[in-house]
Amino acid sequence: MNKITLMLRFLKGNRLTYLGALLAVMGNVVLATAVPMVIRVTLDSILGDLPLELPDFLIRQIGRIGGVDFIRQNLWVLLLVLVGLTLVQGLMQFTRAKLASITGESSAKRMRDRVYLHVLRQPYDYHVKSQTGDIIQRCTSDIETTQHFVANRSVEAISIIFQVLVVLGIMLSLNVPFTVISVVLIPLILILTVRFFRSMMTLFLDTDESEGVMSSTLQENLSGVRVVKAFAAQQFEMNKFDEASSTYRDNILKITRLMADYWSKSDFLCMLQVVIVVLSGTFLTATGRISLGVMVAFVTYSGMLIWPIRGLGQMMGFMGQAFVALTRVQEILDHVQEDYSSGANGLPIQGAIAFKDVRFGYNSGKWVLDKVSFDVPAGSTTAILGATGSGKSSLVHLLLRLYDYQEGSVTIDGTELSSISRDWIRSHVGIVLQEPFLFSRTIRENIRVGRPGATDPEIEAAARIACVDEAIGEFEEGYETVVGERGVTLSGGQRQRVAIARTVLRDVPILIFDDSLSAVDTETDASIRAALKERRTGTTTLIISHRITTLAEADQILVLDQGRIVQRGTHDELIRQEGHYKQIWSIQSNMEDIA
């Protein structure tokens, strides 16, 4: 997408305030260019004897207050004019700064909200394959870079262009040959500026990407700090971060060297141009070809022409940085969102689940689930046992429509799952994951995530079912205890039980426990299952576990191996069959006997 189009999309909703900022900065430029004209008129026509060379309406105004003689005898009038111009300039600058800031901050907030919502609506596969640190950087620092350019640099860049055009027009009206002399080196400065801009675009992209890698490394290490410490891997992780940090530093140094090269060369050319203007102006004034006022005005105007053009290189560098940042943000927005609009809503869900010849794979040609078929009657409990990688969690992904199956059929109460809205099915399925995620909030707020409108008694009842109420009561702050980021202040079992309470609170027709009782002892496991069994009348329950005691009371047990169902039946039936289930049951029974 065109970079200017991206910028205009960023400004959407604040274009009028941005236009106001541009008008204010243009007014400031016009007033600034008026000051050298006042000085020229003062030197040539007020203190000197040259006729006034001003627009007719200004000559008439001067005549109404007494003409040149009156001003010559009351020079305070000129001072008053200069002070007035300066005051209005200050007002214009204030207006420009205020409107540009409103534009930048408002646009940045709107873009942050839009990108964040877009990220939330991305398919599950997008989050699996993306680096969290890089996404965070795009949603924060890249938008901040764009906001800074919009609020400050872009207005300055347009101001420079407008000032160059106005000043060049005034210089040409005063003396064409002297104007040519005054801009003789500007083409070289422009060529240098364009080369600088192109080089900076490439470097800014590399720098942004390396910063994203560094942020991802830092985020990953901080999230897994307990693992890092447990394995005494601080030095290893430090080396990884040092490598990413060094790459980022090297890219920053490349930018610094490029800027230093540009500033030194452009400063030399600009100073040389000033010297040429002063020497040429002195010669032309001495030979009577131009007046002293014109010479002084040209020296001032040449500075207003040369230095802004030199500064335009920096503005273009910032523009390149903003374009890179906007492109990175747009890459997120270009990812297709999950389809939440299609599919049936409002269907009554009782919880009858049927898989028929379902085939699913994350990569083409390799099936994670291969011809899987089974039925789960509404209100029944089905347990699933299988080795790591056998496809247990993939079944859960399909039921939540985190992924869609490639072949076969999955129905809920006789309705094809793919024809049911993702929002609707997810609002009727509760899941407790093996590694539950808790927010850095109070325990009460974490449980209330399951149903935001739940009352305190309902929250506490859910905690009792999850057998975590007693543990919460032992905390000094009780339910108001802040669990810390990712729930680090709680034990693994406590985290899982809080997550179970959060899911139970939803009161949905389908409950899924994805190996979520693995961190609790067998006694607590049995207590939770007993409480759930008492409560979940009419609730369809899927239990994934490696612990036979957790699975034993299920109405049916499925044994998965390499994506296929190799055994099915009740606990009593399966322990009488030779196979995976009996082997695991025997091993676990022997371990319990030894214990």
Span 53-80, average pLDDT: 76
pLDDT in tens, 148-157: 887 778 888 8
Least confident stretch, 54-58, 424-428, 465-469, 567-571: 54-58
Angle between helical axes of 154-174 and 15-41 (0-180°, round to 10): 30
SS3 content of the chain, % helix, strand, coil (to 5): 65, 10, 25
Sign (positive or negative) of CA dihedral 362, 367, 369, 372: positive
Kindly report the three-state secondary structure assignment for every residue of 412-471. Answer: ECCEEHHHECHHHHHCCEEEECCCCCCCCCEHHHHHHCCCCCCCHHHHHHHHHHCCCHHH
User: Model confidence at 557, in pLDDT bands (50, 70, 90)?
Assistant: very high
Tokens 């109405």: give the residue. 555
Quote the pLDDT of residue 155.
84
Higher pLDDT pick, 107 / 6:
107
Span 514-522, average pLDDT: 72
Report the chain's mean pLDDT, rounded to a whole number. Answer: 84
Q: Based on the number of CB atoms within 10 Å of its own CB, is 588 exposed (0-12), middle (13-18) or buried (19 or more)?
A: middle
Kindly report the three-state secondary structure assignment for every residue of 396-428. Answer: HHHHCCCCCCCEEEEEECCEEHHHECHHHHHCC
Quote the pLDDT of residue 409.
93
Query: Do the two domains 3-334 and 353-594 of this chain adopt the same fold?
Result: no
Span 382-409, average pLDDT: 88
Tokens 């990569």: give the residue. 363
Percent of the chain with pLDDT over 90: 8
C-alpha distance from residue 56 to each of 59, 62, 396 (Å): 5, 10, 83
The domain defined by 353-594 folds into: Rossmann fold (3.40.50)
pLDDT in tens, 316-350: 777 777 887 888 888 888 888 888 778 788 888 88
User: Model confidence at 485, in pLDDT bands (50, 70, 90)?
Assistant: low
Q: Give the distance from CA 567 to its chain's centroid.
A: 47
Quote the pLDDT of residue 358.
92
52: left (phi over 0), alpha (psi -120 to 50) or beta: beta
pLDDT at residue 587 above 80?
Answer: yes
User: Model confidence at 231, in pLDDT bands (50, 70, 90)?
Assistant: low
Domain boundaries, the chain: 3-334, 353-594
User: Cα(190)–Cα(188) distance, rounded to whole angstroms?
Assistant: 5
User: Model confidence at 416, in pLDDT bands (50, 70, 90)?
Assistant: very high
Q: What is the DSSP letter of 364?
A: T
Single-letter amino acid, residue 321: Q
Q: What is the DSSP letter of 337?
A: P
Kindly report the three-state secondary structure assignment for every residue of 156-185. Answer: HHHHHHHHHHHHHHHHHHHCHHHHHHHCCC
* 563, 370 contact by CB (below 8 A): yes
Q: What is the DSSP letter of 554?
A: S
Quote the pLDDT of residue 91.
93
Strands 353-360 and 369-376: antiparallel
pLDDT at residue 585 above 90?
Answer: no
* Structure-token pair, residue 18: 């941005």
* 512, 399 contact by CB (below 8 A): yes
Q: CB neighbours of 55 closer than 8 A, spacing ≥ 6?
A: none
Tokens 């009348």: give the residue. 537
Strand partners, 568: 558
Single-letter amino acid, residue 553: E
pLDDT in tens, 31-41: 888 888 888 88
CATH no. for 3-334: 1.20.1560.10
